[in-house]
Structure 1
Amino acid sequence: MMEPPYVVEDCRGILQLMSDGTVRRSAELPAVFLRNIPDGDLGVEWRDVTYDQEHDLNARLYKPRHLGAANTARLPVVAYFHGGGFCIGSGRWPCFHAWCLRLASELPAVVLSFDYRLAPEHRLPAAQEDGATAMSWLRSTAVSDPWLASAADFSRVFVAGDSAGGNIAHHVAASFGKTGLGPPVRLRGNVLLVPYMVGETRTRAELECLPDAFLTTKMSDMYIRLSLPDGATRDHPAINITGPEAPGLETVAMGPILVVSAEHDILRDRNAHYARRMKEEWGKEVELVEFAGAQHVFFVVDPWSERADELVRLVRKFVVDHMDTE
């Protein structure tokens, strides 16, 4: 008799890769991702759309109801990609929904939260390709959507994301530059929140990973096994974005970049190396801010914490400082 399929990889109980190659996904989320919206009206409207019919990919769109003192000012746009190691996650998850609500309400901004294809069913660079598709949709459809057009200034677009989404945001910015999307869209800056990146050589932060870390080195290795194409190493340019196989970016005109890292995150050293190389070797304007005592995606784990408050203020300042820069 044939042995029944057994679990080969288990990702937080949400995704399981079975011995026969099948993938099981659960609709039940661990409590850490079930962050409720606090009582009170945040003053934000939102709705869901499908931005890629072929792959059934959705986006959740947010806009503040009140646009300014005169109620006529149009707002900057944040194109946002969620985290999840390229394997799990959705903008519809309560934690990511709460975080995007905060950004829309408190920057304030129009926020476009994009899903993308997940591994292992769709291995890299599928997620980065979906990031480019999302930008094409923004250019062709979002700019003419009456619901968005009343609030959004598409000449002030910031591409952002957390963890794996931060990786996608980097690839979007590197692919299109400031003006590659064409008028009326202009990319003013990039907000990378604990962006996910790995490499063949272990960093000190990876080697000294705390056993109770939200993202452990062991878990990161699992994400990579599930998401990289067959035969690829951890220096694949989709995931080691400033590594030996990554293309140089000297000639790409990119907007300013905000990189947020966390002291107790295994990605801390790689985030710092990314910021350093982008600035010193490739001539980009980069601001690196490390949150002392914080873990990976601390603002998603608790979108209403004091640390999340601090991060919202940091992102707001970055957006305001750069939304009109050339």
Structure 2
Amino acid sequence: MSDDQSPASDNPPLVLNPDGSCTRFISFPCSPPTPDHDSDTPALSKDVTINDTNKTGVRIYLPKETLITPVGKLPLIIYYHGGGFVLMSASSTQVHNFCNQLAAHLHAVVVSVDYRLAPEHRLPAAYDDGMEALHWIQSSKDPWLTESVDFSNCYLMGTSAGANLAYHVAVRASLQLHDLEPLKIKGVILHHMFIGGVERTGAEIRLADAGMLTLSRCDAMWDLSLPVGASREHEYCNPVVGGGLDDVMSRMKEVGWRVMVTGCYGDLLIDRQLGFAKMLELKGVENECFLGEGYHGIELDDELKAKELFDVILNFMTLNNVHKD
């Protein structure tokens, strides 16, 4: 590393350059969409631009099986990828493969959102993009959506930083229910939620150097993504703090959204995820936890683990529909 670059922490995922740009040291392979019916993927997919200026868009997934044997309008899952707000994209191969299987297994249309990354675009830019995607979907004339989606059966879902994003988009959406019609959110699925705080938890200390997501990398990504000068006690990082928390929870309880929190015991963020789920329970927001063995984001690497997760999500959605009826 040259003298004109400054690391965000030891072993950082990227470094900031004096001109405001950054150099990323972790890269992920990317996959193109597969709109061809003759492809060997379980879902068709295509990219659509939302905002030319911000260079944001979505990748839409349509399960092939439902095209062969129509089953009526399909549930909609709006998915936000992980990467600590500084890495990855909707086209990252891990994300692409996961969304392919998610759409096929759940018989759902998946809209995977490509949002702006930090540090070039610090929070709340990603939240703004996540919300803009909802409004785009709500008014879109894209035939993959208008012909296949049941807009009254929508779920927000994210992995890691994407789960953080899904939660904050849900908070905003709870104030704009009328403006989002006919889009109706039924629940929020938080997969290995990326959250933090200043005081270390037991799992953070015990698992500080275990796996790819180390404590130093967590700190580095928060330093790069939070507003300049904000600490890890900012509500973007630590959702159980903040003066407006009671109002947020009251709104989520009032609209009747159910929340699914998933986590792994080998993830250094497990204590925070369980604390978040406990907070939801104490505030009267209906929620369900799914916990297992493994590491942060394991379902993006392990197909068997992914299938187990998809089965639980499918059950969550099925029970949710019964609950709403």
TM norm structure 1: 0.88
Measure, in 2, the Cα distance between the counterparts of 1:12 and 1:95: 22
Is contact 1:173-1:254 (8 Å) kept? no
How big is the shift at 1:316? Answer: 1.4
Is contact 1:299-1:308 (8 Å) kept? yes
Is contact 2:103-2:109 (8 Å) kept? yes
How big is the shift at 1:217? Answer: 0.7
Is the alpha carbon distance of 1:233 and 1:210 closer, same or farther for their aligned partners in structure 2, counting shifts above 3 Å?
closer
1:50 aligned residue? 49
Is the alpha carbon distance of 1:220 and 1:245 closer, same or farther for their aligned partners in structure 2, counting shifts above 3 Å?
farther
2:40 aligned residue? 41
Which string of whole-angstrom CA distances, capped at 9 and with x for unpartnered residues, describes residues 87-139 of structure 1? 11101000000000001111110000001111111111111111111111111
Which string of whole-angstrom CA distances, capped at 9 and with x for unpartnered residues, describes residues 22-59 of structure 1? 31247x835xx67999xx83431110001122201021
Measure, in 2, the Cα distance between the counterparts of 1:189 and 1:181: 18
Unmatched tracts of structure 1, length 5 or more: none
Measure, in 2, the Cα distance between the counterparts of 1:228 and 1:320: 36
Is contact 1:261-1:290 (8 Å) kept? yes
Is contact 1:50-1:57 (8 Å) kept? yes
How many residues are matched?
313
Is contact 2:50-2:56 (8 Å) kept? yes
Q: 1:202 aligns with which of 200, 203, 213?
A: 200
Q: What secondary structure, in the 3-state scheme, does the structure 2 residue paired with 1:251 have?
A: helix
2:148 aligned residue? 151
Measure, in 2, the Cα distance between the counterparts of 1:10 and 1:250: 34
1:242 aligned residue? 240
1:223 aligned residue? 221
Is the alpha carbon distance of 1:103 and 1:9 closer, same or farther for their aligned partners in structure 2, counting shifts above 3 Å?
same
Asked if 1:81 corresponds to 2:80, the answer is: yes
Measure, in 1, the Cα distance between the counterparts of 2:117 and 2:11: 15
Is the alpha carbon distance of 1:218 and 1:260 closer, same or farther for their aligned partners in structure 2, counting shifts above 3 Å?
same
The one-letter code sitting in structure 1 at the alignment partner of 2:263 is S
Unmatched tracts of structure 2, length 5 or more: 34-38
How big is the shift at 1:80? Answer: 0.1
Measure, in 2, the Cα distance between the counterparts of 1:103 and 1:266: 25
Is the alpha carbon distance of 1:241 and 1:267 closer, same or farther for their aligned partners in structure 2, counting shifts above 3 Å?
same
The one-letter code sitting in structure 2 at the alignment partner of 1:154 is F
Measure, in 1, the Cα distance between the counterparts of 2:207 and 2:18: 29
**Which shows bigger deviation, 230-239 or 208-217?**
208-217
1:174 aligned residue? 171
Is contact 2:10-2:216 (8 Å) kept? no
The one-letter code sitting in structure 2 at the alignment partner of 1:240 is N
2:287 aligned residue? 286
Is the alpha carbon distance of 1:308 and 1:73 closer, same or farther for their aligned partners in structure 2, counting shifts above 3 Å?
same
The one-letter code sitting in structure 2 at the alignment partner of 1:313 is D
How big is the shift at 1:323? Answer: 3.7
2:269 aligned residue? 267
Is contact 2:65-2:104 (8 Å) kept? no
How big is the shift at 1:11? Answer: 9.8
Is contact 2:61-2:111 (8 Å) kept? yes
1:276 aligned residue? 278
**Which shows bigger deviation, 251-260 or 88-97?**
251-260
How big is the shift at 1:251? Answer: 2.4
TM norm structure 2: 0.88
Measure, in 2, the Cα distance between the counterparts of 1:246 and 1:266: 27
Which string of whole-angstrom CA distances, capped at 9 and with x for unpartnered residues, describes residues 259-315 of structure 1? 0011011110110011111111x21110011112x1000012x142x2122111111
The CA RMSD measured in Å over matched residues stands at 2.6
Structure with the bigger percentage of helix: 2
Identity %: 32
2:116 aligned residue? 117
Is contact 2:157-2:166 (8 Å) kept? yes
The one-letter code sitting in structure 2 at the alignment partner of 1:297 is G
